[in-house]
Structure 1
Amino acid sequence: MHSMTTRSQHGIVKPNPKYALITTPSADIPRNPHNIRSALAHPGWKAAMDEELEALHKNQTWKLVPRTPNLHVIGSKWVFKSKLKPDGSLDRLKARLVAKGYHQVDGVDYTETFSP
């Protein structure tokens, strides 16, 4: 009788499909900054912020008005995200300037809501 050696006897196992989407972070992909100071320290994030501000100005997203004492000013914050290609490599760094909508007061700052 012929003795057959199986893959499991050699320690060879099929990859488990549930782990197929798990990747390890690459050293060349910058971490998403959690504050403006760390973002400004990295030239790639600074360029992403400049690109976002340029788009906001180009699209006339806002207009500056004089501040009056009874005017409620809504703050903003930066949100940073590393966008990856399907192969896991860096596609681009994305920065978005968003309004702190949770500071708005219904009937004072808005009467309708909209979210794309």
Structure 2
Amino acid sequence: MTTRSKASRSAQALTATRHPLPLALFYDATTQEEEPSSYKQAAKSPHWCSAIAAEFYALLQNDTWELVTYDSFMNVVGSKWVFKIKRHPDGSIECYEAYLVMQGFTQVPGVDFIETFSPVVKSATVHTVLSLAVSCGWDIC
């Protein structure tokens, strides 16, 4: 008895795909527009300019940073724009997204920051506290 794993297969059967059409359509849909690698490239397109404006406005609304005067002893952290195209499952463009990311690798631990901590709460804890607040008639504000 010969199993499938031991059966000989031709080289063409190993390299060919069973369904080449969907792969071709996916390739065509994803190669129509590329994501820019720099701000200079993105600034030429109105789609990317509106994505940049939306991201910058969101950063200002959330009070992400505080503007201070520069002193020579300060370590200024650089930034970089990252651009991504969000797509629908069929490959069509859903939206253009721009992210302003900080280059935190230039910071020195103990000099520029003391500790890194991100508070994390389990959803069960939040659910319990909210249930307790509702049952006791506490204000949730």
Normalization by structure 1: what TM-score?
0.76
Look up the match of 1:94: 97
Establish whether residue 85 from structure 1 lines up as the match of residue 88 from structure 2. yes
Distance in 2, matches of 1:21 and 1:106, equals 47
Q: Please report the RMSD computed on the Cα atoms of aligned residues, expressed in angstroms.
A: 2.7
| Greater RCO, CA 8 A, separation 6+ | 1
Structure 1 residue ranges without an equivalent (≥5) = 1-14
Distance in 2, matches of 1:91 and 1:67, equals 40
How many residues end up aligned between the 2 structures? 102
Q: Where do 1:16-35 residues align within 5 Å?
A: 16=18, 23-26=26-29, 29-35=32-38
Normalization by structure 2: what TM-score?
0.63
- Shift of residue 29, structure 1, vs aligned partner: 4.8
- Shift of residue 30, structure 1, vs aligned partner: 2.8
Look up the match of 2:116: 113
In percent, how many aligned pairs have the same letter? 40
Look up the match of 2:107: 104
Look up the match of 1:62: 65
Please identify the structure whose Cα radius of gyration is greater: 2
The amino acid across from 1:48 in the alignment is A
- Report the CA distance shift for 1:16/1:27 in structure 2 as closer, same or farther (over 3 A): closer
Kindly indicate which of the two structures has a greater share of residues assigned to helix.
2
Look up the match of 2:55: 52
